[in-house]
Structure formats: structure tokens, C-alpha cells
Structure 1
Amino acid sequence: MTHPVDVAVGRRIRFRRWMIGLTQQQLAAEAGITFQQLQKYEQGANRVSASRLFELALALKVPIGFFFKDLEEDGIRLEDIILTKEACELLKAYHTLPEAVRSHFMGIAMSMTAGTEIE
């Protein structure tokens, strides 16, 4: 049975990989593992060792703490973060916009959610 922390770490690996535009094959090669192993990490099916997590953090250019962000103290109950491919693509597109356009886009998005509680 997969542990929720392993699933959360895997989601973070996948999220960051998408955000910087790497394929599974590219990241796996940088980390010195097979892409099948990376798939298992991203799905939370296999637990990532400390040394492997260190290598992945270097390849993804993030601090180790990035993988544990949003975990609650007990390590079991996790914040439910939307890390879908669509959400990642939206974030990537948003960050390519000029600052003025991003500001306008945020204004539109905020007005659309007015009165709607987002958890």
C-alpha cells in the first residue's frame, strides 16, 4: 500500500518536471535512473530514498524542502493540491505573459471567483 507522503512527493516531482519542461526520460537520465523508475516515484508506487531525492532536487533545481511543502505535521493528512497537467500548463502559460497582462489576467480571474470560496 502506498504511503500518502510518497504520493505527495511523487506529485511534487512530476509538478516540477512539468514546470521546467522536462520529459520523464530527460529527468531520469539526469538523475541516473530509468524512466520506469521515475514513473514509479511520480505515482508514489515506490518510495524515493534520501540520496535519490537529493539527486532529483539537483536535477529539478529545487531545495529538498520543496518535496515536503504542504505536508501537515503528522505526515499522514496532506493538503490536497491540484497538480494536474492542465493546472501546470496554465501556470507555465501564465508565467510567459508580460507583467501587465498577468496583472490584468489576475484581476479577471479574481472577479470571476468573487463570492466563490476556494479551499
Structure 2
Amino acid sequence: MKKSPNSIDIHVGSRIRLRRVMLGLSQEKLGDGLGITFQQVQKYEKGTNRVGASRLQHISELLDVHISYFFEGVPDAGNDRTVAVPSALSQFLNSKEGISLAKAFSAIKDVRVRRRVLELVQSLGGNAETDAPKTTEIFATPVN
């Protein structure tokens, strides 16, 4: 019997993919840096294979983020630690539109402009902001 991917593995994988794409790295380039195949990178990104602690540390160094980045916003697994389908947020962040939006948004250095863009998107999205983090939470830490 095949095990379903763990929700945390899926989340970590989606964060690896998001950061890799934001940096403009291919799966092949990341795999080369790790000494693994691009197929293995795909499995990590889908959550099919778990990323070991030392491997995740190496990935964080190559992607120039703190290791905690991969666990930001991790879903509460509770007692049921497996999910068959990633959350709507993970699905969006793994879509072409989500990646493109994240890249463009992170390129905006002026915090006031970022705030205005967020307000615009929230107004266009209707009541979606009830599930989204507050604007003050998003801008609590400056962007480098």
C-alpha cells in the first residue's frame, strides 16, 4: 500500500519550488548543486519524497534562505498527518500565475507601494482577506 504524502512534506516541497523559481533556477541547476537528479528535485517539490535535515540545510544554503523559510505557514497537521491534496494556497503558489505574482510582488522594494498593491488585490478578491494575513503582518519584516 502506497503512503500518501505528508502535509508538511508537501508544504516544504512547495516552498522549495517557490524559492527556486523566484531565483530563476531550473530543477536541473538545483539538482546539480545538490548532487542529485532533477527528477529527485521534482519528487522533493511534490512532497513525494521527504527531504532529510542535512539535505534541507544544503537546499537552504543554495537558495539563500534560512531553513525556517521552508516551514513558514506550515499547515497544522493535528492527528491526521497526511493529506492527498495540497491546500489552495499551496496550489496557487505552485501555479504559473502564483509564481509570477510572487516574483513581481517581491521585486517591489517600496513598502508603501507593496501595501497599496496588496490592498488593491484584496479589494478585487472580495472577502478573501478574512483568510489572508493582515497587511500589517505581511509588512512586519522588511524585504531585502
Bin the TM-score by the shorter chain: 0.7 to 0.9
Over the aligned positions, Cα root-mean-square deviation in angstroms equals 2.5
Aligned to 2:26: 23
Unaligned runs of 5+ in 2: 132-144
Matched, 1:86 2:89: no
Give, in whole Å, the separation in 2 of the partners of 1:74 and 1:27. Answer: 32
Aligned to 2:140: none
Moved over 6 A (4+): none
Give, in whole Å, the separation in 1 of the partners of 2:103 and 2:22. Answer: 6
Q: Aligned in 2, Cα 1:117/1:62: closer, same or farther, shift over 3 Å?
A: same
Could you tell me which amino acid in structure 1 is paired with residue 25 of structure 2?
L
Name the TM-score, length of structure 2 as normaliser: 0.68
Matched, 1:36 2:26: no
Name the TM-score, length of structure 1 as normaliser: 0.80
Percent of aligned pairs sharing the same letter: 39
Unaligned runs of 5+ in 1: none
Give, in whole Å, the separation in 1 of the partners of 2:8 and 2:60. Answer: 16
What is the aligned length?
Answer: 118
Give, in whole Å, the separation in 2 of the partners of 1:97 and 1:70. Answer: 22
Q: Which of residues 106, 109, 118 is equivalent to 1:95?
A: 106
Give 1:1-119 correspondences, 5 Å limit.
Answer: 1=3, 2-71=5-74, 72=76, 74=78, 76=81, 80=87, 81=89, 82-83=92-93, 84-97=95-108, 99=110, 102=114, 104-113=116-125, 115-118=126-129, 119=131
Residue by residue over 1:17-61, the C-alpha shift from the partner in whole angstroms, topping out at 9 and shown as x without a partner, is: 111111101111112211111011111111111111111111111
